[in-house]
Amino acid sequence: MKNNIVQFLVRNGMSILRGLRMTKDQHFSFREQVLFIGVLITAFILNLIFQPYGDFSELFWGFLAWVFITNGTVFAIREYLIYRKESEYRKRVSSLGHHLYNLDKTKPEMIEIQEEIPTCHKTNDEAYLQYKNDLNRLKEGIQPHTTTDIVSEISVMDELKPLKEVLNTASYKVNDVFGCPHYQVKLELEDWLMKNTLPVIDSANQKVEFLKKALEELKNARMAIKTGVEGEMMVSDYLEDFKDTLLPLNGIRFQSDKGTVENDVLLFTEQGIFSLEIKNIGANGYKVVKISKDGLWYDKGYHDWIRSDKDKIFDQVNRHTALTERLIGESFGSKDKYQVKSMIVIPNKNLEIENESIFNIVRPNQIVPLIREMPKVLTREECLELQKFFISKDIGQAKFEHLDSEKLVSEILRVFESLVQDCEFLKSTYLIQETYVEHVTNNNIGKYLRWKYLNYNSTRSVI
């Protein structure tokens, strides 16, 4: 009798251990483990009470009750939870077709991007004004799509970042749906995403790359012309207060036997004729340069001076001075009083200059004091006559190839508007995917499908 009781306890103890091991192997949730262990212990206690003292029929019915309780309860709970999850999912799926129909109506049209950067021929002043107007047009076109102030092309580039994040999120979601087996996807939605979402993502990414390139091109071209023209404007504004005594002529261009000559500014004063060469070096930030006695330019580096090619400025100054003197000599004779004196004007305060050369390098506010220190060599009448002569010789400013900002900004605005529509459409697909795509984890339907669908890991469309 004693041995039978011991064997009974051993067998039932081993059964409990096997049951506990099964909860681990089958990846039960904590709540299921507690329930299962409780059932095992209850069945063990019932057997312990009835088996030693009951007859065979009581043992038989007790055994059947034990099997039903330990195995049937967990499966019944699982089936109920599966039914409830499936019902919830089917309610949502019933409206899938309606949502996809609405999205089809908002799907953006594919547009062809004009990749080639347009160019045109204009004077520097004309190009500067066009850039200025088109930058304002760019600001006005982008501003409605953002809550931050649009200041320049860089501001627009910053606005591309959140749009790029939308595209990245859309790509991740689609890749997860098609590449991850832990998603339960309605086949109708899977086909729709394949046909509609992927082309929009590809097109939108091309638009982002085009906008980056176009905005960078626009910024570089505008800044290149802006630096020079605004430097000339600063000097012209300063000289405006002395126009009656200096008789300035801006951008006079004439023809010579060695090509055309364009002086930034010509001054006709009683102290002589002056050619001003305006160089807005350092306009975009602090800079230090040194000019040696022999006319070589050096830029200040971290540890030493670095050779620069800016001494070509002196060659340009000498050419303008010589050919302007020759033109005067042809009509007025070669006299000392008609010698053209040169000045290099740096209109900004960012450049620090160490000048050891013989060339006059000055700020705008030094022009008048420097001229007034010189002796008078011309009469007022001669100055007026010279001014009138150069006006008659003016052939107009030269035209150069510039980026066509009018066409480029129009294309930027068109592509940006289309990109915004793409992103709004993709955001709408987020909601569809989050509503109709079940992500299988330990916290949702996956744990209820483990026994019902033993191969769920390789099956995406199980509902």
Is the model more confident about 152 or about 205? 205
Instruction: Give 427's pLDDT tier (boundaries 50, 70, 90).
Output: confident
Give me the pLDDT at residue 313, please: 92
Is the model more confident about 359 or about 48? 359
Instruction: Decide if pLDDT at 206 tops 90.
Output: yes
Instruction: Give 50's pLDDT tier (boundaries 50, 70, 90).
Output: low
Is the model more confident about 283 or about 65? 283
Is the model more confident about 410 or about 186? 410
Instruction: Give 404's pLDDT tier (boundaries 50, 70, 90).
Output: very high
Least reliable range by pLDDT among 204-208, 221-225, 281-285, 336-340: 281-285
Give me the pLDDT at residue 137, please: 94
Please give the C-alpha separations between residue 386 and each of 239, 270, 274, 340, 360, in angstroms, as whole numbers: 18, 11, 12, 12, 23
Give me the pLDDT at residue 69, please: 62
Residue 184: what are its φ and ψ, rounded to 5°?
Answer: -100, 115
Amino acid at 228: G
Give me the pLDDT at residue 441, please: 42
CA distance 78 to 448: 6
Is the model more confident about 451 or about 125? 125
Q: Which residues, other chains included, contact 281 with Cβ-Cβ below 8 Å and sequence gap of 6+?
A: 287, 289, 310, 346, 348, 351
In sequence order, the β-bridge partners of residue 59 are none
- Greatest alpha-carbon span in the chain: 145
Least reliable range by pLDDT among 295-309, 389-403, 422-436: 422-436
Give me the pLDDT at residue 85, please: 65
Instruction: Give 345's pLDDT tier (boundaries 50, 70, 90).
Output: very high
pLDDT > 70: percent of the chain: 70
In sequence order, the β-bridge partners of residue 272 are 269
The mean per-residue pLDDT over the stretch 382-403 comes to 93
Residue 274: what are its φ and ψ, rounded to 5°?
Answer: -130, 135
Is the model more confident about 44 or about 245? 245
Give me the pLDDT at residue 110, please: 86
Least reliable range by pLDDT among 49-53, 99-103, 363-367: 49-53
Q: What is the mean pLDDT of the chain?
A: 80
CA distance 326 to 332: 10
Give me the pLDDT at residue 145, please: 87
Residue-range domain boundaries for the chain: 2-94, 116-217+403-458, 230-399
What pLDDT digit, counting tens, does each position of 141-177 carry? 999 988 888 888 888 898 899 999 999 888 887 776 6
Instruction: Give 457's pLDDT tier (boundaries 50, 70, 90).
Output: very low
For the chain, state the CA radius of gyration: 43
Neighbours of 85 (CB within 10 A): 17
